[in-house]
Amino acid sequence: MTQYLYLVRHGEQRDAEHGVVDGPLSPRGRRQAALLAERLGGVPLTNVWYAPSTIATETAEIVRERLPSLEPKPSALLFDCVPSGPTPEVPRAFSGWFASATPAEIEAGRAQMADAWAEFVAPGGNERHDLLITHNLVIAEFVRHAFDAPEWRWLGLTQAHCGITVLKARSGRPVTLVSHNDLAHLPVELRTGLVEPLPI
């Protein structure tokens, strides 16, 4: 049967502009999460997992408050990470991106993402709708993996806060991308987290 995997980046963080890596949601981030929950209200969600970071946990709590039948579960496989390291194939425009990542962090990220794919992409006997509330690079790596693209190709994929990316997995078939970074539930002023603002 078919598994639908809904990949969602956490809401906007309150102090991200000051270089704080993790922390509580901003008021705008809380509104993003509430609108996300409204958007998902008609989806027959089977499971919900979230990264145990503060921002992802608070996003999951807001979704649960509005969809009380759900029981979100934390998973360390959804923590933010660097999915792979520099190779000769990486375009020069991205080469500086790895300056702050150690070889150990890169290896840990690669292993984490391999485990995350094996854990969460698992079509079975019944149709499933699974929600993962996680971080930008994790979602980028899931999309890269779905396309079997070069290892570095998660670079350049950006997910907006509380944007929805949907993958479809069926036994014996390649995973397909149903939609990427769907923001229809968010008004323009709540579409944050992108490297560049959307032109439309």
Asked if the structure places residue 174 within a domain, the reply is yes
pTM value is: 0.95
The arithmetic mean of pLDDT across residues 137-162, rounded, is: 96
Instruction: Please provide the average confidence, as pLDDT, over all residues in the chain.
Output: 93
pLDDT at 115: 98
> Is 200 a domain residue?
no
**Does residue 18 carry a pLDDT above 60?**
no
Residues 88, 112: Cα–Cα separation, whole Å: 23
* pLDDT exceeds cutoff 60 at 116: yes
Is 195 contained in some domain? no
**What number is the average pLDDT over the span 173-193?**
95
Q: For the segment 96-109, what is each residue's pLDDT rounded down to a tens digit?
A: 888 889 999 999 99
Domain-embedded: residue 31? yes
Residue 197 located in a structural domain: no
pLDDT given at position 22: 79
Question: What's the domain range around 20?
Answer: 2-190
Inside any domain, residue 173: yes
**9-23, 74-88, 175-189: least confidently modelled range:** 9-23
Segment 152-181, tens digit of pLDDT = 999 999 999 999 999 999 988 999 999 999
Question: Is 19 part of a structural domain of the chain?
Answer: yes
CB-count burial class (<10 Å; 0-12, 13-18, 19+) for 125: exposed
Within-domain flag for 42: yes
Q: Using the predicted structure, report yes or no on whether residue 188 has a pLDDT greater than 70.
A: yes
Please compute the mean of the pLDDT values over residues 16-28 and round it to a whole number.
78
CATH classification at residue 37: 3.40.50.1240
**For tokens 């993958």, what's the residue?**
167
Mean pLDDT confidence for 126-150: 96
The mean pLDDT of 53-59, rounded to a whole number, is 97
Structure tokens at 165: 């990316």
Q: How many domains does the chain have?
A: 1
